[in-house]
Structures are given as C-alpha cells and as structure tokens.
Amino acid sequence: MLKRLFFLLLLIGIFFPLISLAVAGTYMADSTQVCYEGLVPCGKMVYIGGRIENGKCAEQGDKQLIHCQFCHFFVMLDGIVDFVLINIIPPLAVLMIVVAGIMFYLGGAKPDLLTRARKLINGVVIGLFLIYGSYMIIGIFLSVLGAAEWTGLANWAQGFFSFNCPIEIP
C-alpha cells in the first residue's frame, strides 16, 4: 500500500508541472489585460494587452518581464482554483465513472464488485455536487450580502477570485 502511494505521488510530481504549463491565464493590470502562461503570473515574460486563443496566449501586444508583486499571489490562487475546477476534476470524475462502469460490467457474478461500483459512482456524483455546489453557494452568498460589488467579486461565474489588481506595469 505504501509503495503504491509513493508511486502515485511520484507520478503526480513528474507530470503535474507538464500539465500546468499548458494553462494560460489573464488578469487586469493598470486597466490593461495581461496574458501569462503557466500557473505563476509573474517573474517571467508576459504579453501586455494579449488574450487567450486555443489555451495559449496569442502573441499580441508587448512582451515584457513582469516582476512579482503582492497582488500576483491572488492572481496565482485564482489560476490554481480555475485549473483544479476546470482541468483536473472533470477528467478525474469521468475516469472514476468509467472505472466504476467497468467494475459494474465485470461484476455480474460478484455482488461485492457490484456494490463497490455503485458506491464509487455515488461517491463521484456526491463529490461533484459538493465541489461545484459549494462554489456556487459561496458566490450566491457573497452576491446577496453585497460583498461581491465592493470586493470586485461581482462576476463570480467567470471565476470566484476574478478581480482587478493594482499591479504596476513597468
């Protein structure tokens, strides 16, 4: 069991950086849209005035080196939350449902396998409702309280942490 866990963590450690490099994001700085690739939005060359096309930054606008500022931390958190909610959870849920379907198909004579398949499908569906439902409930709660307007979280459907940062472009 411990060997399997170590092997799984090793695979995640090897392939997660490769997967996360394929992510592009944008944020507003000095009322200008900045496009960056990867999960970290600063300390590298970014496109000032760029936009995302086909999951990559379109080579538009000026390419500049942006130094890290405090607000980049929140932009990075937004990128990580979006990456997990959009790029990690749906394929993982589909994979688990496929595994449960295979277990269900092969478990004709084994009632234990059928029970495990049903529990796996129920667990996946409940987990998806918890993850996306809590995201939606928090967004609605902040909108009802009025916190969305004064904190900049008014468009929580596009991303819960989507707000403008006072980041200075050199």
Distances 30 to 78, 147, 166 between C-alpha atoms, Å: 18, 23, 6
**Could you read off the pLDDT tens digit of each residue along the chain, which spans 170 residues?**
677 777 777 777 676 666 666 677 777 777 777 888 887 888 887 888 777 777 777 777 678 888 888 888 888 887 888 888 888 889 889 989 998 999 888 887 888 889 999 999 999 999 999 998 988 887 777 667 765 554 555 554 455 555 566 776 76
- Report the run of H or E that residue 91 belongs to, with start and end: helix 89-106
Q: How far is the C-alpha of 50 from the C-alpha of 61, rounded, in Å?
A: 6
Q: How far is the C-alpha of 159 from the C-alpha of 154, rounded, in Å?
A: 10
Q: How far is the C-alpha of 113 from the C-alpha of 69, rounded, in Å?
A: 53
pTM above 0.75, yes or no: no
Q: Which of 34, 170, 12 is nearest to 84 (CA)?
A: 12
Grouping H, G, I as helix, E, B as strand and the rest as coil, residue 162 is: coil
